[in-house]
Structure formats: structure tokens, C-alpha cells
């Protein structure tokens, strides 16, 4: 893979990734600590034939992104936890109508206004079910500056493949961290763009929601003569509202199954020093950087620790988590929240003896804290 070396912040890299991945529209509202994404992309998009609009609020921000996507454009919005709360209803609309978009959530302390300038991983469960109803959310989680770029690129291809919103979680630490990152070249990214499917047949034969039970809708761009109805209601093969029992059942089951049946396409994780590990640390996002440092220090002290880092959080890499929690007795979950992903690990592993290190005061978890916790509990 052709790469380039850059000095940047996570927020700037997220914006650059979107443009390189073919994003042509940004709609949003400034919200700490995500605002730099909007600042940067508002400069980049006009130079690349796109447009960025600061809307009057977060709700309007996602509404205009849905509209842009309906016209066939790759579209991005970025915010933090309170903004996702405001966008939740229209994230549900995009799930039901199967409109692809990417949302970057630079996590901060919550709930409510919380700690706007401090780090948190408190939006993990929000990302699993940001809106009401039955569907399968897709959520990626960057764990480095480079992944603030590569996971946003991946999110756009996934969104168009599965025809639904894709959430990319970063956090205040990664968003404002300034350092070196090795990322793909823009040419490499463009060569890997996977466009959304398009119906090419006769207009009278076009039924966008008539698809296999494990496949997404095929929504041709608006204004090209292929007609269909757009609604948040349960709908038939042409998008028109219906309460017909079997049609409603098949629709909702398909929204779930189009992701569940293809989890192998989404699964992504990192294994770090796990070959001989006696202690398994599970961490994600910026916390995983501290975990790696801690593992190196622990090994100097003769403690064979290793890291499993989920990159795709939802759907979770359950088979790999099960494999390692079955094999390694001593497990420590490290999160900047209170057990939000630990509960998923407990579900997968059926274990209730997992140790945890959690912090919710807006401060990062240091390598020394992880080392101390491992030595205390194992």
C-alpha cells in the first residue's frame, strides 16, 4: 500500500479522510471537541467540488446530510455525544429509509453537557442503539491518529455497502492529539472507493426495497427519473407506507439481517502481544495506547500481558473475544466509562469474574494506573 507521513491532529485527519474518500457534502454544527472537523472540511470541500454548511443546530445538520445522500453524494456529519442525542431521531430515519451517511463522534464527558473539553468513552452504548426500534448499528472506533483517517475512509465504503449510517467513534484525546501518522495516499484511497449499487434497468421495473432478506435497498440518486417514496414509516417495495403484516415483518428483519449475516465483512480488531499472554487486557480507542505502554512495562517485570482491541465495536468481534476469554484466565477491561463494553464482553464470554479499570472524571487512564491494577488483582 502506498503511504504518506503527516503531522496532524485526529480531527483534521478525520476531515481529510472524508474528502479523500469522495465525500462531497458536510452538514453540521460546531460542538466541542469535534469542531475542528467542520473547520477543516469547510476549507477542503469547496476546493474539491463539494460543499460544507453550518446549520442552525444539530438536527438540521443531519437532515441536510440525509438529503445530500439521497441525491447520491457521500455525506458526513461530525459532533459529540450531546449532538448525537439531538441527531438520534433522524439517525432512525436514515436506518429505516436506508440512507448511507457517516457520523464522526468525538466523545467527551456526559451525560448532558457533561465535560465538554475532557475525554470520555461514554457514548459506546449510545452508538449501539442511537435511535429507537430494531436495526443493527455499525460502529467503528479509532485507536490512533492514523485510524482517525483510515476508519473514516472505511466507514464511507461500509455505509454505501450496507446502505445505512455508520458511526466512527474517536474521543477528545485523539481528536486534539497532534503527532505523526502514517496513512494511505489520497490516490490509494480513491482507488479503493466502493460505490453504492445502482439499478440500471427500466424505470417501471425499479423497486428499491425489493431485495433479498440479507441485502440492503438499492436507492438510485434522486432527480434521475427513478421514482420511489421516502418515509420513516414501515413501507413496501416502492417505499410507500404499509401496515401489511408480512411486509412489515420482512422489512424489520432485513434491516437487522443485512448486517448480522455479513458480520465477517465488518469485523476488525488488533491483537498485541497475545501469543503467550497470561493476562488479557481489553481496551479500545485512545485507552489502548496507554494499555500498550503498560503491557511493555509489565513484561519488563515478568508479567506476560497482552491486548485485544476491538476496532469494530458494533457488531462486536464476538468470536475472537470468546476465543481469548476462554483461553486466558486473567482478564482486565479498561474503559473511560462504567462497564459499557465490559457488559458486552460478559455477554459473549458468559464470565462474571472479569476485572475492570474505569474512569469517568474526564481524565485519561495512564499506563501506570493499568500496571498498578494488573499487579493488584492478578
In tens, the pLDDT along 90-144 reads: 999 999 999 999 999 999 999 999 999 999 999 999 999 999 999 999 999 999 9
Q: Are 55 and 64 in contact (CB under 8 A)?
A: yes
Please give the class, per CATH, of domain 3-191. Answer: alpha beta
Angle CA 118–177–320, to nearest 5: 85
Residue 352 CA neighbour count, 13 Å, CB half: 0
Return the CATH fold of 270-377. Rossmann fold (3.40.50)
* Banded model confidence at residue 1, pLDDT cuts 50, 70, 90: confident
Number of neighbouring beta carbons within 10 Å of residue 200: 8
Residue 308 CA neighbour count, 13 Å, CB half: 29
What proportion of the chain, given as a percentage, has pLDDT over 90? 99
Q: Do domains 3-191 and 270-377 have the same CATH topology?
A: yes
Q: What share of the chain is helix, strand, coil (3-state, %, to 5)?
A: 40, 20, 35
Dihedral angle computed from the Cα positions of residues 355, 360, 361 and 365, in that order, rounded to the nearest 10 degrees: 50
In tens, the pLDDT along 38-83 reads: 999 999 999 999 999 999 999 999 999 999 999 999 999 999 999 9
What DSSP character marks residue 235? B
Torsions phi, psi of 120, nearest 5? -160, 160
Angle CA 281–268–90, to nearest 5: 110
| pTM over the 0.85 mark | yes
What proportion of the chain, given as a percentage, has pLDDT over 70? 100
Q: What is the average pLDDT score of the chain?
A: 97
Beta strands in the chain (DSSP E): 3-9, 23-28, 51-54, 74-79, 101-109, 115-119, 138-141, 165-171, 178-184, 269-272, 279-282, 305-310, 312-314, 330-335, 355-358
Q: Where are the domains of the chain?
A: 3-191, 270-377
Amino acid at each position: 500500500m502506498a503511504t504518506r507521513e503527516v503531522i496532524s491532529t485526529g480531527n483534521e485527519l478525520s476531515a481529510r479522510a472524508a474528502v479523500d474518500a469522495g465525500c462531497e457534502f458536510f452538514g453540521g454544527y460546531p460542538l466541542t471537541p469535534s469542531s475542528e472537523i467542520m473547520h477543516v472540511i469547510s476549507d477542503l470541500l469547496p476546493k474539491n467540488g463539494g460543499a460544507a454548511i453550518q446549520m442552525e443546530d444539530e438536527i438540521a445538520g443531519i437532515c441536510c446530510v440525509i438529503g445530500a445522500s439521497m441525491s447520491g453524494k457521500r455525506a458526513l456529519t461530525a459532533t459529540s455525544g450531546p449532538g448525537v442525542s439531538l441527531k438520534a431521531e433522524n439517525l432512525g430515519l436514515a436506518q429505516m429509509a436506508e440512507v448511507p451517511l457517516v457520523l464522526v463522534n468525538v466523545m467527551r464527558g456526559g451525560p448532558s453537557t457533561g465535560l465538554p473539553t475532557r475525554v470520555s468513552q461514554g457514548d459506546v452504548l449510545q452508538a449501539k442503539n442511537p435511535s429507537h426500534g430494531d436495526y443493527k448499528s455499525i460502529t467503528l472506533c479509532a485507536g490512533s491518529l492514523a485510524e482517525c483517517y483510515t476508519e473514516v475512509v472505511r466507514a464511507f465504503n461500509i455505509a454505501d455497502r450496507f446502505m445505512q449510517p455508520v458511526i466512527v467513534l474517536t474521543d477528545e484525546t485523539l481528536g486534539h492529539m497532534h503527532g505523526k501518522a502514517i496513512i494511505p495516499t489520497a490516490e490509494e484511497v480513491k482507488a479503493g472507493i466502493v460505490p453504492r449499487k445502482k439499478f440500471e434497468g427500466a424505470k417501471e421495473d425499479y423497486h428499491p426495497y425489493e431485495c433479498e432478506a440479507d441485502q440492503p435497498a438499492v436507492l438510485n440518486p434522486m432527480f434521475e427519473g427513478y421514482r420511489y417514496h421516502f418515509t420513516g414509516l414501515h413501507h413496501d417495495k416502492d417505499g410507500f407506507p404499509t401496515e401489511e403484516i408480512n411486509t412489515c415483518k420482512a422489512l424489520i428483519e432485513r434491516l437487522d439481517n443485512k448486517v448480522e449475516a455479513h458480520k465477517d465483512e465488518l469485523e476488525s480488531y488488533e491483537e498485541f502481544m497475545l501469543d503467550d499472554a497470561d493476562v488479557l487486557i481489553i481496551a479500545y480507542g485512545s485507552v489502548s495506547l496507554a494499555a500498550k505502554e503498560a503491557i511493555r512495562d509489565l513484561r519488563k517485570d515478568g508479567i506476560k500481558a497482552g491486548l485485544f482491541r476491538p476496532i469494530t465495536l458494533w457488531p462486536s468481534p464476538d468470536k475472537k473475544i470468546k476465543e481469548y476469554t476462554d483461553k486466558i484466565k486473567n482478564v482486565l477491561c479498561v474503559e473511560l466509562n462504567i462497564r459499557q463494553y465490559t457488559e458486552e464482553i460478559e455477554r459473549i464470554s458468559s464470565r462474571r469474574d472479569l476485572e475492570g479499570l474505569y474512569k469517568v472524571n474526564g481524565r485519561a487512564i495512564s499506563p501506570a494506573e493499568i500496571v498498578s491494577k494488573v499487579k493488584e488483582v492478578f
